[in-house]
Amino acid sequence: MFATDILKVIYAPHKAFKDIIQNPKYFGPILIVILFIAASMGSTYAAISKTYIEKTLPDGKLLDEWTENKAFWTSNANVAESYDSINGSYYGNKSIAFSITNNTEVLAQLKDIGPVNCSGPEAYSKLSFRIKWTSPETPPANASIQLLSTDSSDFSYNLTEALSNFTYNVWNNLTLPLISDGWPNSGSAASWDNITGLKLDFAWADSSNITLLVDGVFFRGNFKSLLESAATAFLVNYAFLAFTQILLVWVILTGLIYLMGRGLGGSVLWKPVLIVIGFALVTMVIQSLVNMVAYLGSPTVHYPLELIGGVKGESDIAFNAILEQTWLVSQIMRFTQIAVYVWTIALCSLAVRFLTAFGWAKSFLIGTAAYLITLLAGSFLLGF
């Protein structure tokens, strides 16, 4: 019977509200609350199943810890922690500075970081780091990176060509694909699933005072679904948020319509108002179901380090790329939201009409004002 009343509110609200006012029962609105929570959890499940976050090593819990602490490094140069660093939420506030006088070369080794697995579908597929030299002004004549593996074997990559296009006294970003032709190994024992450290070698043509800074060293390229990493937490949190949201809307909207109806001379009782408005919130269930379908049909979205790293410019580009990718889903949800607002106002106005016997103009005024104030209150209290 209550399911029939809910369906009737959708296709014949004038008949449904007459019946509900004559025999108001709490079971229908309670069922709508349950359906809204279930639909919201379904929408959340669909959304997080399509959301992948790039995992890094270090994982960001201690920021880019390898370039926050000079104890990780050895070098032929003097090693120091510098506050000249990348400005980003994922990158801490330090870099590692290597300084040497009257020399042509800086050798730096990041030690004891492994084993890092860079082989297989669940492994890291990229290496990123930032470099900056403040002296001399010319770029290195030769540069390379080695990834250390087993039994003194390693993989090496020539950085000379990449650095020739980089700028003096500016942080330059290097992102290298792993397991590619650019990484010859020095012995058969070298294994991509057992990387234990890295070496950097920068050489200049002429002897000079050299200052080289390194920041933001990350193994990356491993994307994990939110469904895999935090599904339970997300679903529990959103179930509680959904319950709080619909309960708040229900109580505030009911209270406003009751007070406005009484204040304008209508003879209204609390229980019928509460029950009818509870039924009117079936629109929130419909909206959550539409959102769920939209998410299920959406493309898989990958959130890269550039977005979560918070570096100005990089994060904007990554964010705009995601906005472009999810444009259709956003538009569907946007127009659904507008339609639900209009629909709910219409149902509230119709409910006021039957509850108070006011004219259509006054009923519409009360229904619109009550719902808009409810939205403002919800936005202030919960941000929805």
Q: Return all residues near 257 (Cβ < 8 A) that are at least 6 apart.
A: 273, 277, 348, 351, 352, 355, 366, 367, 370
Answer whether 0.85 is exceeded by the pTM: no
Residue 378's H or E segment, with its range, is helix 360-381
Give me the chain's average pLDDT, please. Answer: 91
Task: List the chain domain ranges.
Answer: 2-54+225-381, 56-222
pLDDT of residue 165: 84
Q: In the 8-state DSSP scheme, what is residue 299? A: P
Q: How far apart are CA 103 and CA 140, in angstroms?
A: 12
Interhelix angle 270-280/27-49, rounded to 10 degrees, is 30
**Is the four-CA dihedral 286, 292, 294, 297 of positive or negative sign?**
negative
Among the ranges given (153-157, 170-174, 290-294, 373-377), the one the predictor scored with the smallest mean pLDDT: 153-157
* CATH homologous superfamily of 56-222: Galactose-binding domain-like (2.60.120.260)
3-state percent breakdown (helix, strand, coil) of the chain, nearest 5: 50, 25, 25
Do 125 and 179 touch, CB atoms closer than 8 A?
A: yes
Sorted by sequence, the CB contacts under 8 Å of residue 233 that are 6+ apart come out as none
pLDDT at 231 (0 to 100): 73
- Phi and psi angles of residue 202, each rounded to the nearest 5 degrees, phi first: -120, 125
pLDDT digits (tens, 9 = 90+) for 352-372: 999 998 999 999 999 999 999
CB distance 199 to 145 below 8 Å: yes
Residue-wise pLDDT for 86-132, tens only, equals: 998 899 899 999 999 999 999 999 988 878 999 878 899 999 999 99
**pLDDT above 70: residue 52:** yes
Residues 50 and 47: their CA atoms lie apart, in Å, by: 5
- Predicted confidence (pLDDT) per residue in 157-184, tens digit: 999 998 888 889 999 999 999 988 889 8
> Quick one: what percent of the chain has pLDDT higher than 70?
99
DSSP E strands, 58-170: 73-75, 78-82, 95-110, 126-135, 142-148, 154-158
Q: What is the pLDDT of residue 350?
A: 96
- In this structure, what token pair is assigned to residue 138? 């010319």
Q: Tell me, what amino acid is at 198?
A: L
pLDDT higher than 70, residue 2: no
The predicted structure's pLDDT at residue 376: 93
Buried b (16+ CB within 10 A) or exposed e, 135-152: ebeebbeebebbbbbbee
- Tokens 């801490």 map to which residue? 92
Reference 104, options 13, 206, 176; nearest CA is 206
Using CB atoms within 10 Å of the CB of residue 240, give its burial: 0 to 12 exposed, 13 to 18 middle, 19+ buried.
Answer: exposed
Pairing of strands 126-135, 73-75: unpaired
What pLDDT does 384 receive? 66
pLDDT band at 1 (very low <50, low <70, confident <90, very high): low
Q: Which residues contact 382 (CB under 8 A, 6 or more apart)?
A: 241, 244, 245, 248
Determine the Cα–Cα distance for residues 369 and 210; give it in Å rounded to an integer. 69
How far is 381 from 367, CA to CA, in rounded Å? 21
Gap between the Cα atoms of 125 and 146, Å rounded: 16
For residue 25, the Cα-to-chain-centroid distance in whole angstroms is 41
Which amino acid belongs to residue 20?
I
Pairing of strands 51-57, 301-303: parallel
Mean pLDDT of 57-62: 88
Of the candidates 25, 32, 11, 24, the residue with the CA atom closest to the CA atom of residue 279:
32
Tell me the β-bridge partners of 28: none
What pLDDT does 135 receive? 94
Report the interhelical angle of 226-263 vs 327-356 (nearest 10°): 30
